[in-house]
Amino acid sequence: MCTNTHPSLRHDLNYKTWPIFTKDNAPDSNDQKNNYGQHPFYTVLESNGNSHGILLLNSNAMEYTLMPAPAMSVKTIGGILDFFVFIGDNPEHTIGGILDFFVFIGDNPEHVIQLYTSLIGRTFMPSFWAFGFQISKYGYHNTNQVKAVVERQIKHQIPYDVQYIDSDYKFWSRDFTIDPNYFKDLPQLITETQSKFNLHWTPIIDPGIQGNEPNYSIFLDGNNQNVFVKWPKSVPIQDRHNPDNIDVTHDNMYGRVWPPGPVAFPDFMKNATQNWWINNFKHLYSIGWKFNSLWIDMNEPVSVEFGTGFNITCPHNQYDNIPIEIKALWVHNFERLSRQSICMIGVQGESGQYKHYDVHSLYGLSMAIPTQKALNEITGKRGYVLSRSTFVSSGQYTGHWLGDNRSKWSHMKDSVIGMLEFNLFGIQCLLHLIVDREALWVHGFDRLSRSTLCMIGVQGESGQYKHYDVHSLYGLSMAIPTQKALNEITGKRGYVLSRSTFVSSGQYTGHWLGDNRSKWSHMKDSVIGMLEFNLFGIPYVGADICGFNDKTTPALCRRWQQLGAFYPFSRNHHNGWGGDVQDPAVWADIGHPEVTEAAKQSLRVRYQLLPYLYTLFFKAHVLGNTVVRPLFHEYPTDPQTYGIDEQFMWGSVVLFSPFLYENQTEVNAYLPDDVWYEPSVEFVKLVPKTGHVKLQD
C-alpha cells in the first residue's frame, strides 16, 4: 500500500496507520505521511510459497491500519468499489466479477505481480540509452554551468548518457519557454552534445500555467480552448478568492507554483487539453529544446503556500472540510487537503464532469501520458519521461525518482527500501472494510485541499467530475498526453518521468521517489521504495542519488553512488541553489577523488550488466515480471528472506548487498541455499558458503 515511506519492506502490524492521497510530502521513514502517488495494492506471502495480492481501486482519500490479527482496516471517503478475483496458472486464466476490488491469487509472489500487471497494463519499454547514468540539478544559472558539468564528466571518464535541466532554463519559470538571457545558447549545446557524445537531454515541465501575463501565448491559447480546471458554477465569484487582474469569465481555478503570478492547472481529462499539451511540446522542440525524454513534476497537483503573494483559498465545503478524521490530512499546522495544491472542488474533464478531489492523485499520471506522447512524436525515438507523482499504471509511461531526499546516510539507506517498495509489499493480513473512527488518525487538521486544488473543483468535458473524486488521478491524466506528445514529436522510444502516479501509470511513465534528503536513512528507504514501485508495475524507478535536499557528505555520496548505480533509473539530482554540486566528477576536483572513483567503478559494473537489465525490462513489458525484486520473490519458502529489505535482486540471478550505514565496513548479508558466484575484475569465483555471511568493504 503506498505511497508512503516505509521503514521496512515487511509491514509493522502493531496498529500503524498510513494515509493514501497524492501530496507534495517529501519522503522520510521517520513519519507516516502520504507522498506523491496512490497505489492501494499489497501482496501476502504464505509459508508454503503461495501468494496473493489485493487491489482496492479507488482514487479518493484513503487510509489503512495494520493490526496484529493479522488484519487491516481500510477507510475511504467516497468513490466506487469494484471487486474482481483472479485465479489461474497464468494471467490469461482468470475469473472475475464486478466491484473495483481485486484479488490476485498466484503460485508465488512473481506470479501475483504478473496477474496484477495483466489487469493494470505492463510497463513501457525504455530505449537502451535510458538505462545509462543521468545527471541533474536544480540551480543551473546559465548554459555555461551546464556545459561545465558535461565536460567534467567526460574529463573524469564517468559513464553518462542523460543530462537534465530543472526549471532554471525557463523564462520566469513559465512552461514551454527558454530564458533568452541566461540560456539563449542552450539549443546549440544540446545539438552539439547530441551529435558529438550521443548525450540525451531532458527538460522539466510543471502543470501550473501563469495566467496574468498578457503576452504568454501558452495560457492565452489554453484559456481560449477552456483547457483548465474550473470552479463549479455553484460557487459565487466572491467565494473563489481570485487574484486581482485575472480573467474570471472562464471559471478557472488559480493557484500558485513557480511563475511570478497565479497559475491555472490543465485539466487533462479533456481531449482539447491533451491536444493543446502536445502542441506546446512541439513548440518547445521547434525553438531548439531537442529533448529525448520528458520530466513532469508538481503533478499531485501542487499549489505552494510559502512566501508572499497570491495563495489559493478554498471556501468551506463538504469535500475540502470532510466530516471525518483521516490521516491523509497530516500537515504542518494547516488543515486542508488543498494546501500546496489546488482546491478539491475544482472541476476537470471535457465537460467538467470530474471533481478535482476524485482525480487529484491521478494528476501526475494524466500529465505523464501526453508528455510521453509528445516526446515520442517530436523525437521519433524511445526516450523516457521522469515523473515525481505516480499512480497505478504509471510505469507504462514514466520513470520515477524517490523525491527530494537529503545528503544523509539514512536517506541513502531509505532509498533501498523505497526501491524495493516499488516492486513489492509483503503484508500477511486479512482485509476488512471497517468504518471505525478510532482507527483514523489526524493531527488536528481537516482540509484535503491543503497544498493542492479545492476539492469542489470540477473537471471533465462537461464538468462531470469533482476534483474530490479524481484528485489522485491528476498525475496519470497528465502522463498520458505527455507520453503521446513525446511519441509524436520524437518518433522514438523515449520516456516520461512523473512524480505523481496512480494504478496503471507504469504504462506511460517512470517515477523518481521524490524530494529526499541527504541522510543515511533516506538512502536506505530508497531500496524499499524501489521494490514497492516494481510491485506497482512501475519498474523504471530510482531515488535522487546523494540526496536532493541538504548538503551531502563525501562518505554518504560515495555509498549512495555505489547503491544508485543499480537503481533501474539511475540519476544524481539535487537542489543546488545554494551553490552546492555533487555530480560524480566534481568530487575529484574538490579533494575527494575516492567518491569519483567509487562512482566510476560502480557505473562501469552497471554498464556491463545493462544487456541483462534491458532483458529484464523486456520481460516486464511483455510478461509483467518485476525487474528489481526482494529475495523472497525468488525464495518464497525460505522464511529467512521474508524480512530482508537491505538486499535486492535484479531478476533471478544478480544479488546486491549495499553498504547503507555511516562508518559501515562490512555487510551482514544473507545468501539463500543456492549456487552463488562472486564476480571480480579478472574472473568469477564460487562463493564457498550460503546463509548469513559477512561481506567486507
DSSP string of 626-666, one letter each residue? -SEE-HHHH-TT-GGGTT--S-EEETTTEEE----STT--E
Q: Which range has the worst mean pLDDT, 131-135, 165-169, 443-447, 527-531?
A: 443-447
Does residue 392 have a pLDDT over 60?
Answer: yes
pLDDT value, residue 224:
97
Condensed to tens digits (0 to 9), the pLDDT of residues 559-588 reads 999 999 999 999 999 998 877 899 999 999
pLDDT value, residue 33:
84
Task: Find the domain containing 403 and state its range.
Answer: 128-615
- Domain for residue 642, yes or no? no
Does residue 350 have a pLDDT over 50?
Answer: yes
**Distance between CA 560 and CA 102 in Å, rounded?**
37
Q: Mean pLDDT score of the chain, rounded to an integer?
A: 86
Does residue 455 have a pLDDT over 50?
Answer: yes
- Domain for residue 689, yes or no? no
Does residue 442 have a pLDDT over 50?
Answer: no
Condensed to tens digits (0 to 9), the pLDDT of residues 60-82 reads 888 888 888 788 887 776 655 54
pLDDT value, residue 683:
66
Q: Which of 362, 366, 368 is nearest to 509 (CA)?
A: 368
Q: Which range has the worst mean pLDDT, 158-162, 404-408, 424-428, 589-593?
A: 424-428
Provide the pLDDT confidence category of residue 441 given band limits of 50, 70 and 90: very low
Mean pLDDT of 482-506: 96
pTM: 0.85
82 compared with 517, residue with greater pLDDT: 517
Provide the pLDDT confidence category of residue 332 given band limits of 50, 70 and 90: very low
- Domain for residue 589, yes or no? yes
Instruction: Work out the percent of the chain whose per-residue pLDDT is above 90.
Output: 59
**Distance between CA 563 and CA 561 in Å, rounded?**
5
Calculate Rg over the CA atoms of the chain: 23
Does residue 344 have a pLDDT over 70?
Answer: yes
DSSP alpha helix (H) spans, 552-630: 554-564, 586-589, 593-623
Spatial strand order of the sheet with 628-629 comes to 628-629, 648-650, 654-656
410: exposed, middle or buried (C-beta count within 10 Å: 0-12, 13-18, 19+)?
buried
Does residue 481 have a pLDDT over 60?
Answer: yes
pLDDT value, residue 422:
67
pLDDT value, residue 306:
64
489: exposed, middle or buried (C-beta count within 10 Å: 0-12, 13-18, 19+)?
buried
Domain count, the chain: 1
Does residue 326 have a pLDDT over 70?
Answer: no
- Domain for residue 98, yes or no? no
Residue 534: Cβ within 10 Å count: 32
pLDDT value, residue 681:
58
Instruction: Work out the percent of the chain whose per-residue pLDDT is above 70.
Output: 89
- Domain for residue 13, yes or no? no
Secondary structure (DSSP) of 468-518:
ETTBTSHHHHHHHHHHHHHHHHHEEEEEEEEEEEEEEGGGS-BEEEEB-BB
Q: Which of 265, 357, 360, 363 is nearest to 320 (CA)?
A: 357
Residue 419's φ and ψ, nearest 5 degrees, are: -65, -40
**Distance between CA 563 and CA 592 in Å, rounded?**
18
- Domain for residue 213, yes or no? yes
Condensed to tens digits (0 to 9), the pLDDT of residues 593-625 reads 999 999 999 999 999 999 999 999 999 999 999
pLDDT value, residue 159:
96
- Domain for residue 624, yes or no? no
Does residue 440 have a pLDDT over 60?
Answer: no
Joined together, the cell numbers standing for residue 20 give: 493514501
Q: Which range has the worst mean pLDDT, 147-161, 446-460, 614-628?
A: 446-460
Provide the pLDDT confidence category of residue 426 given band limits of 50, 70 and 90: very low
Which amino acid is located at 659 in the chain? Answer: F
Instruction: Provide the sign of the torsion angle of the four alpha carbons 529, 533, 534, 535, taken in this order.
Output: positive
CATH of the domain at 597: 3.20.20.80
Condensed to tens digits (0 to 9), the pLDDT of residues 78-129 reads 655 544 444 334 333 323 233 467 888 889 999 999 999 999 999 999 999 9
**SS3 label, residue 185:** coil
**Distance between CA 487 and CA 380 in Å, rounded?**
6
Provide the pLDDT confidence category of residue 317 given band limits of 50, 70 and 90: confident
- Domain for residue 204, yes or no? yes
Provide the pLDDT confidence category of residue 516 given band limits of 50, 70 and 90: very high
